Amino acid sequence: MLNDQSSRARARLMREALVDAKVGLSQSRAARDGAGAQLERERSELATVRRRGQLAAGINDAETVKLATEYERKHSERIAVLERKHAALEQEVALAERETAEMTAQLKQLTAGVDASAPAVSDLEDPLESESASAFELDALRRTADRSARDADAEARLADLKRRMGK
């Protein structure tokens, strides 16, 4: 009985850790997607600056060509940084996905080893409550992921606005 109780307790702790890992994974994905969107905006800005520089060169507007060249350099530098950031976030997401998959497999192994016919102890999970708790945890995970994605999007928009305003 003691072994069964400790296995259930471990399973409960692992389940909690898995939920935390999934939330972290969701946040990592949101950060990666935000960096990707920021990178695409920066590339678009670079294309616009290049086009304006070419148009200015076509009408012999030396001052605008000079400004376009300066902004082209700045956008290129930002793109290089954002590409490295996006690549690092891609690696972080891949790592988190592997860890989450490993944790899921370990939890399945552990719960398969727990004797389901053993009587439930009051401070441990009841199997019926466990199913509804898992659904609740997944719902909470979705809400947290959605909130994280909205926050990341808002942060990216704010940073873009600040950059455009020169702050």
Q: 160 CB contacts (<8 Å, ≥6 apart)?
A: 38, 41
Average pLDDT over residues 48-64: 90
Helix axis angle, 62-113 relative to 2-58, nearest 10°?
A: 170
Distance CA 37, CA 40 (A): 5
Distance CA 72, CA 110 (A): 56
| Ranges of each domain in the chain | 2-165
Considering only residues 69 and 110, tell me which one the structure prediction assigns the higher pLDDT.
69
Average pLDDT over residues 45-54: 91
pTM over 0.85: no
Yes or no: say if 83 and 39 are a contact pair by the CB < 8 Å rule.
yes
CA-closest candidate to residue 20, choices 137, 148, 147:
137
- Note the pLDDT tens digit of each residue in 106-145: 888 877 765 444 444 333 344 434 445 556 666 667 777 7
Burial class of 11 by CB neighbour count within 10 A (0 to 12, 13 to 18, 19+): buried
